[in-house]
Amino acid sequence: MKYISLTIVFVIFSQILFSQEPEVKKGIFGFSAGFAFPTGKFADEKDRVDNSGFALTGQHYALKFDYLLSDNFGIVGTYGRSICPINEHDLMTEIYALNPLASWEFDEGEFTSSSFLVGFNIQGIDRGFGFDMRLMLGLAYASLPRITAEGTGYDVPAYLTMRTSGSSSFAYDIGLGLKFYIGKQIAIITDVDYLGYKPTYGLSTTSNFGFQSQSTYSEKVNLITWTAGIGVRFE
């Protein structure tokens, strides 16, 4: 009986996965969610380097559209949203160096970015399965958290506030995707992308212990994103 049940499940799964004709549907519109992994100087680093971003692993969300123009060549577009927390410990070390006599407490947010990208991809489709390799270009808008530090030293209150203006910049994306077709209308999608851009922020720092600055700040942002989700197929 167990053997018969397993056989039935296998047959049903095989019919779902392999009986459709995926080439009939040229387009997919999907939503996926997953992780954003900072890399390079943007990542949190044990050995401090100039312009380190203090960024930790965060979340990534994506809306994706792709459409076949021929058997293996298509267009693709995405809207992505990344949210990465900041390493408070390393940031505290930097602020502490400005006034080591104070005992600091921090109120800080998260790095956020949105990207709008379009490009081309090369696709391969087999029964029940598809993949694509893509190159996209576009714009990214990024913002750093407002960081407020409050402390006391020798019973004297101290504060330091860093504010940044959001910044847009040219962005590029290189990615790989897999699609698993569930019937003629639905696909399970998963993507891995390497996203890069370099925003320039306006940075304002104020304090009550003599440290003031107005400057611009450029930072390379590099993220490896992995997402999984569901897509709707259409003609």
CATH number assigned to the domain comprising residue 146: 2.40.160.20
Nearest to 37 by CA among 18, 15, 62, 55: 55
Question: What 3-state DSSP class applies to 51?
Answer: coil
| Residue scoring higher pLDDT (146 or 4) | 146
- Sequence-ordered alpha helix ranges (H) in the chain: 2-18, 88-98
Average of per-residue pLDDT values in the chain: 78
| Residue scoring higher pLDDT (210 or 178) | 178
In this prediction, residue 130 carries a pLDDT of 85
Of the candidate ranges 8-17, 127-136, 165-174, 183-192, the one whose mean pLDDT is the lowest: 8-17
* DSSP helix, strand, coil percent of the chain (3-state; round to 5): 15, 65, 25
Q: β-strand 129-143 against 213-218: which pairing, if any?
A: unpaired
Of the candidate ranges 47-61, 152-166, 213-227, the one whose mean pLDDT is the lowest: 152-166
In this prediction, residue 63 carries a pLDDT of 97
Q: Which domain holds residue 198?
A: 2-234
Average pLDDT of the residues in 209-225: 79
Contact between residue 54 and residue 85 where contact means Cβ atoms under 8 Å apart: no
pLDDT, one tens digit per residue, over 41-71 is 888 665 455 556 678 899 999 999 999 898 8
Residue 17 in this model has a pLDDT that exceeds 50: no
pLDDT, one tens digit per residue, over 100-130 is 666 666 666 788 999 999 999 998 877 778 8
Give the global pTM.
0.76
Nearest to 162 by CA among 217, 206, 127, 195: 206
- Cα 67 to Cα 70, 85, 138, 188, 193, distances in angstroms: 9, 34, 18, 16, 18
- Number of independent structural domains in the chain: 1
| Residue scoring higher pLDDT (36 or 213) | 36
Residue 151 in this model has a pLDDT that exceeds 60: yes
